[in-house]
Structure 1
């Protein structure tokens, strides 16, 4: 069993599951196609879920279980997944794997695989491939009575929800942002106008790397008045759109939005356009960011290339750690908040659909936190006002 990429004639791509005879596993393939084209999930999501399904099918095969009925033993699957190596060779055949030995997969990885398995089996129930009793083995039914009042929101009545039965407690991970001095150092370490623009599009515009890689030249309106281009938006901006791209770039946001640009980013655009014209002339693809020094010249950069660039710049700037594109995006969200931006402004600028999704992107400056504490009046000040 293994995950396998499928390129469709339309240019779209998703990942499926094939068996030892290189035949597609039907129910897994239907589920992954549904995720990609019915639910609008990204190619990377289908890749992750296909990999999770592969682990489940391998375990069923190794233990002699039917995958349609093995959900009742997911606890054993969790142990197997935590400790079993991906490949059992001759050198590992005499080794005992299990509790007491060093885990080979962390809690987050195990939970990701379990989420894929729940999705696969739930879909199989919906199409009649698996008995509906399996849902009771995957989820327990809970109601709103055990929720704190803050979590109930405006819901006043009793309502029910499904809670996964099998899940490991994950250690709390620190969410970090790129510091401003790090972004400046990376900007100065760039060796081309294109790379400087990429750093700014992440750190000063707040786009994801898939959104940056997916920008087309036609998405970029840099004039103060764009009505001549058929656009009613004022000021310099870019249109962030979800579309199928040949370089696998994908905007996570389902809805399109307009992202304003400041004069620094516009200046970086101008310098890059001059650089691109000098090296490619009027050629190259319609993608904004393309290869300028490696073959094939003019081909669009991939999202992975954005991450590789940030890794190189982190080393070249001697930062002492790797600063990735997403850390630059968090820096943008935090800087907007530190500059007095409201929560809804940060939400709109980050292209987030739900207000609650903004929290991981806003890491307040410590000085701003101290100022917030100092703004709270002391009891002495309050009592003095009362006496007057």
Structure 2
């Protein structure tokens, strides 16, 4: 069992699951197609889910289990995931270091639950499976404050099988690290990528998905049919041939500053020198490796940052998303309000902004020193 990419006639791609005879697993294929085209999930999401359910089908096959009935033994599947490498050739005994950490196991379980829930909905698995996957309860056992104002009976679901994950938080790239990455760039395109993430705050999928027509760098964009003033980018969620995908369902206008505009100018000069007027309509394309003019993928941006961190001699790996956190932290440190940050990050839910708040040490110290001492309060009260 393994995940396998499929390209449909429209040019869009998704991932499915094939067995040892290279035959598509029907229920998995139907579910993954539904996710990709019915629910507009990213190609990379279908890849992750396909890899997860491929492991589930492999476990069922190797242990002689019928996949619709195997959820009753999902605890054994978790142990198998923790101690069996992807090759399946060696099973490591308890006490050995797990081959998959808690977060990886939980991602596989999420995919398996999605598949089995879909299978129940199309009568490919018995309804009793849902009780093996979820704890079903109502809202009456919740504290009064958590029930809300609606007095109607509310049914809620909790997953049955989930490993506890150590709390991790995406760190913020420091200004020194960003400058080091910028200096390690060998061409204008790579410098633009660094700025798109660190000063504009784009995700790697959003940067890789930009088209040239999304970039309005004039002070007056009415000539381009756009009423937005100042230099800006249009961040749009769309199906892209390079697998790039905007996580946000929102489309929004993102203002850019003079440093980013300058980087665009240098990149366009570089691109024209290499490709002339040709190349893909994507903004970021291959300039120094084949196939020339084809769009960069999100994975290529990951590779770029790995190379930049190595060339810059950084003490730690700096992932692309850490630059988005740096942009958010720098914006707040400079006085941006939470609603401004929400708009700049393209977040629909205000609570989604909270993980991006990384107050600087200086700002925390200033917050402490602003608190008056008891002596000051007493003196003010006696005047």
Work out whether the TM-score is over 0.5: yes
CA contact (8 A) 1:80 1:98 kept: no
Residue 57 in structure 1 maps to residue 52 in structure 2:
no
Alignment equivalent of 1:277, drawn from 267, 272, 277: 272
Structure 2: where are the runs of 5+ without partners?
Answer: none
1:303 matched residue in structure 2: 298
Cα 1:298–1:131 change in 2 (3 A) is same
Question: Is the contact between residue 44 and residue 243 of structure 2 (CA under 8 Å) also seen in structure 1?
Answer: no
Q: Secondary structure at the match of 1:225?
A: coil
SS of residue matched to 1:341: coil
Corresponding residue for residue 334 of structure 2 = 339
* Cα shift at 1:128: 1.3
Counterpart contact for 2:42–2:243, Cα < 8 Å? no
The corresponding residue for 1:67 is 67
Distance in 2 (CA, whole Å) between partners of 1:234 and 1:376 is 41
What is the aligned partner in structure 2 of residue 246 from structure 1? 241
Q: 2: distance between equivalents of 1:65 and 1:183?
A: 51
What do residues 37-78 of structure 1 show as CA deviations (whole Å, max 9, x unaligned)? 111111111111111111111111122211111111111111
Residues 148 and 327 of structure 1, relative CA distance in 2, 3 Å threshold:
farther
Query: Which position in structure 1 is the counterpart of 2:82?
Result: 82
Instruction: Identify the residue that residue 46 of structure 2 maps to in structure 1.
Output: 46
The Cα of 1:205 is off from its aligned counterpart by 0.3
> Cα offset for 1:105?
1.2
Match of 2:133 in 1: 138
SS at structure 1 position matched to 2:62: helix
Q: Does 1:267 align with 2:257?
A: no
Q: Secondary structure at the match of 1:5?
A: strand
Selected match of 2:212 from 217, 222, 232:
217
Where does residue 178 of structure 2 map in the other structure? 183
- 2:33 matched to which residue of 1? 33
**Conservation of the 8 A alpha-carbon contact between 1:79 and 1:98:** no
Whether the aligned pair in 2 keeps the contact of 1:219 and 1:239 (CA below 8 Å) is yes
2:225 paired with 1:230: yes
Aligned residue for 1:134, secondary structure, equals helix
Distance in 2 between residues matched to 1:67 and 1:8, nearest whole Å: 28
Q: What runs of 5+ residues in structure 1 fail to find an aligned partner?
A: none
- For residue 317 of structure 1, what is the aligned residue in structure 2? 312
- Tell me: CA distance 1:161–1:217, structure 2 relative to 1, closer, same or farther (3 Å): same
Are 2:339 and 2:350, in contact at CA under 8 Å, matched by a contact in 1?
Answer: yes
Q: Distance in 1 between matches of 2:380 and 2:155?
A: 49
Conserved 8 A contact 2:139-2:147 = no
Q: Kindly tell me: are residues 78 and 256 of structure 1, through their superposed partners in 2, closer, same or farther at Cα, counting changes over 3 Å?
A: same
Please, what is the CA RMSD of the aligned residues? 1.8
Q: Assess, with a 3 A threshold, how the Cα gap between structure 1 residues 272 and 147 changes in structure 2: closer, same or farther.
A: farther
- The alpha carbon displacement at 1:145 in A equals 5.1
Aligned mates of 2:372, 2:79 — CA distance in 1: 54
Q: 1:379 to 1:154 in 2, by over 3 A?
A: farther
Local SS of the residue matching 1:259: strand
Counterpart of 2:281 in structure 1 is 286
Q: Deviations over 1:278-315 (max 9, x none)?
A: 22221112111112222222221111111111111111
TM-score normalised to the size of structure 2? 0.95
The answer on whether the counterparts of 2:201 and 2:325 sit within 8 Å (CA) in structure 1 is: yes
